[in-house]
Structure 1
Amino acid sequence: MAKYENTLTGEFEEVIKQLENDIGNSGITMNLVDESNYTFGATKIAVRVYDKYFMRNGNRASLSLTVVGDNRDIFISAIGAGGGSGILFNFSLGAEDDMVEIVRKSVEEMK
């Protein structure tokens, strides 16, 4: 499992759009599995779940992205999972790290 969390200031919809573009353009095997959007007062929440097939180890990894915005204050959490192989032991070859790194780079470019 890999995890990245950060905060930034900006327009919620623009941040979501940039993250979706960067994640979606990261490879042809990256797929948006599902999404959820919710607004509670001034707070907006967006959840995205992606998966990607990695040929180097023949498995799929997932990326769960949560973005919470309150006015211009935005919190981003990205968690990558499932990039390992094996039944009893999870030997990861870094697929989760690769997926989370896409989000990290995208956020750093927006800052």
Structure 2
Amino acid sequence: MAKYETTINGQFEDVLNHLENDISNSAMTMNLVDGSDYTFKDTKIAVRVYDKYFMRNGNRACLSLTVVSHGSEIFISAIGAGGGQGIIFNFSLGAEDNMVAIVQESIEQWNNF
């Protein structure tokens, strides 16, 4: 499992759209599995689940993305999982890290605007 979390400032919809575009365009085998959106007063929450097929080890990995805003403060959590092989030993070739790095690079790019 790999995890990246950060807090940034911005407009919720703009940040979410930026992340969704970067994740979707990161690979042909990246798929949006499902998503959920919720708003309560001035708090917005978006959850997205992606999966990606990795040819190098013949498996799939999952990326869970949560974006929460309260005003202009936005919390982002990206968790990658499922990229391992084996029943007893969960040997991973870095698929989860790869998935989470997409989000981290996207946010770093956002912060450089």
Q: Secondary structure at the match of 2:27?
A: coil
What amino acid is the match of 2:74? I
Alpha-carbon distance in structure 1 between the residues aligned to 2:49 and 2:106: 16
1:109 Cα deviation from its structure 2 partner:
1.0
Q: Deviations over 1:24-72 (max 9, x none)?
A: 0000000000000000110000000000000000000000000000110
What amino acid is the match of 2:101? E
Q: Deviations over 1:2-45 (max 9, x none)?
A: 00000100000000000000000000000000000000110000
- Partner of 2:108 in structure 1? 108
What amino acid is the match of 2:43? T
CA RMSD of aligned residues (A): 0.4
TM (norm. structure 1) is 0.99
Alpha-carbon distance in structure 2 between the residues aligned to 1:16 and 1:47: 10
TM (norm. structure 2) is 0.97
- Partner of 2:5 in structure 1? 5
Alpha-carbon distance in structure 1 between the residues aligned to 2:27 and 2:42: 34
Alpha-carbon distance in structure 1 between the residues aligned to 2:93 and 2:40: 39
Gaps of 5+ in 1: none
Q: Secondary structure at the match of 1:17?
A: helix
1:93 aligns with 2:72: no
- Partner of 1:61 in structure 2? 61
Q: Deviations over 1:56-102 (max 9, x none)?
A: 00000000000000110000000000001001110000000000000
What amino acid is the match of 1:106? S
Q: Which runs of structure 1 show a deviation greater than 2 angstroms over 4 or more consecutive aligned residues?
A: none
**Number of residue pairs matched by the alignment:** 111
- Partner of 1:35 in structure 2? 35
- Partner of 1:22 in structure 2? 22
1:110 Cα deviation from its structure 2 partner:
1.0
Calculate percent identity across the aligned residue pairs.
72
Gaps of 5+ in 2: none
